[in-house]
A = this chain, B = another copy of it.
Amino acid sequence: MTVSSSTATINGIDLAAVGALAQQLLADPDAPKSSWSARTQWTGAFTSASYAREHRPIVSDEPALLAGTNSAPNPVEYLLAAPGSCLAVGYAASAAARGIELRALEISLAGTIDLRVFLGLAEGHAGYEQIELTTRVDSDADEAALQELHEHVVKTSPVGNTIEHAVELRTRLLSS
């Protein structure tokens, strides 16, 4: 692989742009944290549309098994897609920073939920108690380098960290 310093791209990532972002964050240690938001609009029954910036709505529904109309993935599936997509970014970026080229990468995620708690029929943890995550990577890099990459990416994943830590949901209700 030939890398020119002005146009270096690995895994489709512009290393100069990532480097500039890192420099910018290092230059101002008091830089505010990045803020993110979404707005979910209930659209009847178990359907909703969530909006993030200018993007198309993220639509959700429940399967027929859960009395929905199965028009879209359900919320606990989005909760698996979030760490999946976050780790994909992490692998691509951290591999690029290490000079590791990825040919293909796929992440499988799975977990179980006790519907009885959700339906108020039992007490306990209503969510995933653990999530099983398997990454399949196709690369010429050696085993040890890929294992180090994997551990770094899991450790620094914003979505992964949010799931692995106890994070407070500060809720309030406004009614009219």
Binding site for B on A (CB under 8 A): 11-14, 17-18, 21-22, 25-26, 31-42, 44-46, 48, 50, 52-53, 55-56, 58, 60, 62-63, 65-67, 72-94, 102, 104-121, 125-139, 143, 146-147, 150, 152, 154-176
Measured between beta carbons, the chain B residues less than 8 angstroms from A37 are 77, 80, 108-111
Interface of A is mostly: mixed
Closest 6 CB pairs of A and B: A40-B84, A127-B162, A127-B161, A12-B45, A75-B86, A50-B81
**Oligomer copy total:** 2
Measured between beta carbons, the chain B residues less than 8 angstroms from A76 are 36, 82, 86, 158-159, 162
Measured between beta carbons, the chain B residues less than 8 angstroms from A84 are 38-40, 48, 50
Partner of A112, one of B34, B94, B112, B176: B34
The reply to whether A35 and B164 form a contact with Cβ atoms under 8 Å apart is no
| Chain B proximity of A123: nearest CB distance (Å) | 10
Give the most central of A35, A36, A111: most B CB within 10 Å.
A36
